[in-house]
Amino acid sequence: MSQARPTVLKIGGSVITDKSQELGVRMDAISRIADEIRDANPRNLIIVHGGGSFGHPIAQKHAIKEGFKEENQIIGFAETHHVMTVLNGLFMDALIWRGIPAVSITPSSCTMTQKGRIACFEDTPLKQLMKMGFIPVLYGDAVFDAELGFTILSGDQLVSFLAVRFNVEKILIGVDVDGLYDADPKTEEKAKMFEHLTLKELKKVHGRLGGSNVCDVTGGMFNKIAELIPALEHGIPVLIVNATKPKYIYKALKGEKVKGTLIEKE
């Protein structure tokens, strides 16, 4: 059993789903990423994936993030949680079929938030399965909240929280662009990509980061970066790469050079 510090790998919802259609899954991307994880054969890995066209549209329709206000949101919460388990199931299928000992951990059953922030996280099973060599897979989920009744817990908040809690070596973020830009590279031709940023530099450019123009109840790139700041403050480096490009996730997991944005404390 290797005692290497874990790595957290986040696969964005925009990579594994088609955000232009509700419940549009990209099985080719899921299969390829599962291949890359198997081939990299990482020791001590925690995987978190986003919701994309599964979680976001339903959560938005029922205003789940804002908390419990009326009775008809109850079915909306159930539906949001359910479609996330469906997407997670497809992702898990791809991992398990390839002989990867992945175990799904449902955030709503081990996490309570307070005003949208993780207040309590039961990590005993997670610690046990990692100790035994399993790979936990978590995801953005509809969760219960001590103050709001319920809300949405983004995969990005989970990533940072788990990174700090498990003192990980690094965070890898797989998105659908080449890295972090000073504007939205999909709409701005002259958007410039940052190859390396310190935490101080990141805080300076944070306000200029492009938001997401597709349905994303967790707030697009601006919020993703805000969520990573606690982990960066703990000295955990973050590498943002394009997970839609073959072998990028494989190389990042192997520690090989790959195009992207590296963010470090200093």
107 Cβ contact partners less than 8 Å away, ≥ 6 residues apart: 138, 139, 140, 141, 143, 153, 158
- Asked, for residue 17, whether it belongs to a domain, the answer is yes
Give the position of tokens 């123009």: 213
- Asked, for residue 239, whether it belongs to a domain, the answer is yes
Q: What is the mean pLDDT of the chain?
A: 92
| Euclidean distance between CA atoms 266 and 261, whole angstroms | 14
Q: How many domains does the chain have?
A: 1
pLDDT greater than 70 at residue 208: no
- pLDDT, tens only, 41-98: 998 999 999 999 999 899 999 999 999 999 999 999 999 999 999 999 999 999 999 9
- Asked, for residue 1, whether it belongs to a domain, the answer is no
pLDDT band at 133 (very low <50, low <70, confident <90, very high): very high
| Euclidean distance between CA atoms 161 and 153, whole angstroms | 11
- In the chain, the N- to C-terminal Cα span, in Å, equals 32
| Euclidean distance between CA atoms 16 and 28, whole angstroms | 8
| Euclidean distance between CA atoms 217 and 2, whole angstroms | 38
Asked if 61 and 76 touch (Cβ cutoff 8 Å), the reply is yes
Half-sphere exposure of 112 (CA within 13 A, CB side): 9
244 Cβ contact partners less than 8 Å away, ≥ 6 residues apart: 15, 29, 176
- pLDDT, tens only, 153-181: 999 999 999 999 999 999 999 999 999 88
Strand partners, 194: 180
- Asked, for residue 2, whether it belongs to a domain, the answer is no
Domain coverage including residue 46 = 7-264
CATH code of the domain containing 81: 3.40.1160.10
- Asked, for residue 91, whether it belongs to a domain, the answer is yes
| Euclidean distance between CA atoms 150 and 74, whole angstroms | 9
- Asked, for residue 189, whether it belongs to a domain, the answer is yes
What is the pLDDT at residue 119? 98
